[in-house]
Amino acid sequence: MLEKMSFRWTVITVICLLGCLWISPNFIKYDPKGYFGKAKMVLGLDIQGGLHLVMGVDVQAVVQEQVSRKVKDLLTQFKDNGVNAQSVSVTGADKTSIEVLTGGAQNKDVITKFIEDHDGSTLQIVTATPERIELRYFDAVMMDMKKHVVEQAIEVIRNRIDEFGVSEPSISAQGNDRILVQLPGIQDAAHAKELINRTARLDFRVVSSELAPDKIASLVEETEKKGNYKLGENKLTYQAYIKKLNEDLAAQLPKDTRIVFEKQENAASLEAGRRPFLIRTDSHLSGGQLEDASVRPDEYGKPEVVFRFSNEGRKLFAEVTSKAAGGSIAIVLDDVVKSAPHVEREIDSDSARITLGQSRDYNATLAEATFIATSLRAGALPAALEPLEERAVGPSLGSDSILKARNASIISALAVFLFMFLYYRVAGLIADLSLILNVFLTFAVLTTMGATLTLPGIAGIALTIGMAVDANVITYERIREERRKGASMAGAVRDGYHNAFASIFDANVTTVLTCLVLMYYGNGPIRGFAVSLAIGMVTSMFTAIFFSRTVLDTLVTKFKMDILSGGIKG
């Protein structure tokens, strides 16, 4: 019995220490590398104020542009392969269909076969007559294309927001053609919208090997110290920082080169962790010559990135890869390096691929491949963004909400604590301690998950307190029943917890399942409520069952204390 009790206390101690580690970033500033707790809890717009934007993405215009490009591509393919067609043009009320005039019945079968062989997986033949063929993208391809447009716009916006300096922005798709942008702590709406709507610039640059990486990092550090400036300090944006840094280093860098940075893996922002690259400026290939980029499995089943250039882009890409042969090419979006793949030799074709190695984890490889493809498309298919909704939440409203929510939580918690003590005495104090531990662990888990705490989330925590104390009440009433039957105190505690477990477990599981449904179908505030409540239900199983029973067993068996004295009476 004592060994079992010792094991329980060891588990409780370990979990409490882990909770302290997870929640510590909210109170202590330290380098999170190697720690479980990676950042402080994020406060939502309704608490700290900020900017709420809903941006409409002109998906249809991008689709029409893609169809126009496909028309030009078909004309080139027909010419290169000796296929006779009178004309190829865009048609349809929505400008998303392609019309091919065959020039005669003798060409119809040849054109049809060519399309089926070369574009059979993307284009479908809607109608076909001896004189005319109408083509249209498959619905699945069209949906995927539209999805890529929204993903591309999100990537562009995220790249902009990193420059703005918002530590925890929320950027997500809303429907098929809208993007929700929430910027906590930001009040300058005009600047934010101007930054978001700025045209993206994608470049392929040769990575220079004239300076070693350590030397580049050393130059950057020395220049920052000498100039007394640093990225993110004194409202120094990334673009301004890059410009100033390269101006100060102009005399020390090789001719026709400049320094840009890549955000390190797992870093929250460029300020938190970045890697310098020395790129050449005398060879240039922009995203304007890029037609498409996608992810597909290679011959080993591993994800790789495949991208395609226009005719002009093919020539420029051949020149760039010729200069970079044996080295690397940096894919740079708005002066931020998104990837720097190795180039083995000159690539003279209208398409190329980026392989990511064979020994890496599949999910990590797929995530990186998707990220690179999205970054490439961000420069290839710029979509117009239209502000549809704008709300600015003032910090005074957030402070007032925090004050009221805090007061309400404190008053309700004190009422619960007082009731439990007056009605259950010693056992009530243990229940109160369980509630405190439950709230502590809930905040610890929310912190390490990087969840955003909103007012609905605080409401979820308040509801957690009520449901968690209910578990203690059920258990104590079961103990009372066992005492009435004449059971000893130790036996009453054992049987009371055993008989109450099924009811408590059932209530918590059904609540968690409800929360999962709310998280799946609900929007932001509802999800915040569901997440905090679900976490609270899980932690309450530990505090109301495991922790409180361990404390009661210790008091009863080791200290021979009658926990019912003055409280739970039989």
% of the chain surpassing 90 pLDDT: 14
Task: Give the pLDDT of residue 512.
Answer: 92
Q: What is the CA radius of gyration of the chain?
A: 31
What's the average model confidence in pLDDT over 366-388? 70
- Residues 85 and 111: their CA atoms lie apart, in Å, by 8
Q: Look at the block and give the residue holding tokens 């005669």.
A: 104
Q: Return the higher-pLDDT residue of 307 and 163.
A: 307
- Residues 96 and 350: their CA atoms lie apart, in Å, by 24
Can you state the angle between helices 59-80 and 105-119, rounded to 10 degrees?
120
Task: Give the pLDDT of residue 381.
Answer: 46
What's the average model confidence in pLDDT over 423-436? 88
One-letter amino acid of 280? R
Outline where DSSP puts E strands in 404-462. 452-453
> What pTM does this model have?
0.55
Q: Could you tell me the domains of the chain?
A: 2-48+394-558 (1.20.1640.10), 60-138 (3.30.1360), 199-386 (3.30.1360.200)
Nearest to 373 by CA among 121, 213, 147: 147
pLDDT band at 34 (very low <50, low <70, confident <90, very high): very low
What's the average model confidence in pLDDT over 541-568? 78
Task: Give the pLDDT of residue 510.
Answer: 93
What's the average model confidence in pLDDT over 409-422? 83
What pLDDT, in 10s, does the model give residues 197-237?
665 677 888 999 888 889 999 999 999 888 888 887 776 77
What's the average model confidence in pLDDT over 451-480? 85
Q: Let me know: does 350 contact 293? Beta carbons within 8 Å.
A: no
Helix H or strand E encompassing 378? helix 362-380
DSSP symbol at 546: I
Largest CA distance in the chain: 102
What pLDDT, in 10s, does the model give residues 240-283?
888 889 989 988 998 889 999 988 877 767 777 888 999 988 77
- Residues 439 and 565: their CA atoms lie apart, in Å, by 28
What pLDDT, in 10s, does the model give residues 76-92?
888 888 888 888 898 88
Q: Look at the block and give the residue holding tokens 């994020």.
A: 42
Continuous H helices in 81-212 = 105-119, 139-164, 189-196
Q: Is 8 strand, coil or helix?
A: helix
Task: Give the pLDDT of residue 277.
Answer: 93
Mean pLDDT rounded to a whole number for the chain: 81
Say if residue 357's pLDDT is above 70.
no
Q: Return the higher-pLDDT residue of 382 and 20.
A: 20
What's the average model confidence in pLDDT over 327-349? 84
Measured CA to CA in angstroms, residue 233 lies from 61, 237, 336, 469 at distances of 39, 8, 19, 47
Continuous H helices in 165-293 = 189-196, 213-227, 238-248
Task: Give the pLDDT of residue 358.
Answer: 54
Nearest to 75 by CA among 67, 65, 83: 83
Nearest to 191 by CA among 149, 151, 235: 235
- Residues 223 and 248: their CA atoms lie apart, in Å, by 7
pLDDT band at 438 (very low <50, low <70, confident <90, very high): very high
Task: Give the pLDDT of residue 563.
Answer: 67
Task: Give the pLDDT of residue 146.
Answer: 87
One-letter amino acid of 206? V
Say if residue 29's pLDDT is above 70.
no
